[in-house]
Amino acid sequence: MKLPKLLQAVLVVVAVYIAFKLVFSVGLQQPIPSSLLTMYMFFVVVATLLVTTATEESAKEMSGPIKALVEDPSKKTIRNIVFVLVPLLAGWMTYSNLRPSFEAPVELRTIHPAPPGSMKAFGKSYDLAKLENPFRKYQKEDPEKFKALVKEGGAVYYKNCHYCHGDKLDGQGQYAQGFNPLPLNFQDIGTIAQLQESFLFWRIATGGPGLPKEATPWLSAMPVWKDFLTEDEIWKVILFLYDYTGQAPRSWAAH
């Protein structure tokens, strides 16, 4: 038996929604945030409507039951039911969205705010557009020395950073759950792998208070490490971050 077009369309949309929920919330244990799911479903509905109205025949099949519902005198009862249900549904959705709750409002936070053009630390000024890790060159020139520097960076990391960023650099340190947002996961392909080393130097050296105004409220508990570490220690820990995660810093060397 061939299902009516309109019912097919509704079933497709419902099936996609359930699939999103099942796969991400149940299967992968990583639910799709409601803001994103709303966007996804909006375009799934739009695309379903486009497909079902692409040909004249299909469009007539789609609109037939809706027309009949509105115009056919024999469907008076179901029409009245639908005409009561639709405003009630709209009212319920509006109420759900506006109902006060104890949940903090959703806010859009800039995780990677742009660095300034230059910064001051250790009694001098750095031009972040040109700043490079002074130890990076040893990766090719003297691999043994590089290895030793990475090791020193690792020591700095485990003395100072792993409490929050985790011993596997995955943002799951002992104190991580005490922060909101959680400390950054360096294993994520979208974090340090996207950035130049100068960005990391700025971010580590100046910490949360060094973030620019565009990142406010910056909600970063990152200490100002220039007060606790030396310049070389910061560069070494940067070497360690990339080495441990198997990532390479962003550079334009291949261009």
Is residue 67 a contact partner of residue 58, using CB atoms and an 8 Å limit?
no
Q: Report if residue 174 touches other proteins, rule: CB under 8 A.
A: no
Q: Report if residue 117 touches other proteins, rule: CB under 8 A.
A: yes
Q: Report if residue 63 touches other proteins, rule: CB under 8 A.
A: no
Q: Which is nearer to other proteins, 33 or 78 (CB)?
A: 33
Q: Report if residue 128 touches other proteins, rule: CB under 8 A.
A: yes
Q: Report if residue 81 touches other proteins, rule: CB under 8 A.
A: no
Encoded one letter per residue, x for contact with other proteins by CB under 8 A and - for no contact, window 30-49 reads xxxxxxx--xx--xx-xx--
Query: Per CB under 8 A, which region of 65-73, 87-95, 188-196, 233-241 contacts other proteins?
Result: 188-196
Q: Which is nearer to other proteins, 98 or 106 (CB)?
A: 106
Tokens describing residue 59 = 């469009």
Enumerate long-range contacts of 178-184, CB under 8 Å, 24 or more apart: 179/221, 180/219, 181/109, 181/111, 181/219, 183/221, 184/111
Q: Report if residue 244 touches other proteins, rule: CB under 8 A.
A: no
Q: Which of 171, 173, 207, 210 binds other proteins (CB under 8 A)?
A: 171
Q: Report if residue 178 touches other proteins, rule: CB under 8 A.
A: no
Q: What is the 3-state secondary structure (H, E, C) of the chain?
A: CCCCHHHHHHHHHHHHHHHHHHHHHHHCCCCCCHHHHHHHHHHHHHHHHHHHCCCHHHHHHHHHHHHHHHHCHHHHHHHHHHHHHHHHHHHHHHHHHHCCCCCCCCCCCCCCCCCCCEEEECCEEEECCCCCCCCCCHHHHCHHHHHHHHHHHHHHHHHHCHHHHCCCCCCCCCCHHHCCCCCCCCCCCCCHHHCCHHHHHHHHHHCHHHCCHHHCCCCCCCCCHHHCCCHHHHHHHHHHHHHHHCCCCCCCCCC
Cβ 249 to other proteins shortest distance, Å: 7
Encoded one letter per residue, x for contact with other proteins by CB under 8 A and - for no contact, window 92-111 reads -----------xx-xxxxxx
Q: Which is nearer to other proteins, 57 or 76 (CB)?
A: 57
Cβ 61 to other proteins shortest distance, Å: 13
Q: Which of 64, 91, 134, 190 binds other proteins (CB under 8 A)?
A: 190
Which residues contribute to the site for other proteins (CB under 8 A)?
24, 28, 30-36, 39-40, 43-44, 46-47, 50-51, 53-56, 59, 103-104, 106-117, 128-129, 171-172, 180-182, 184-185, 188-191, 193-194, 196, 198-199, 214-215, 247-255
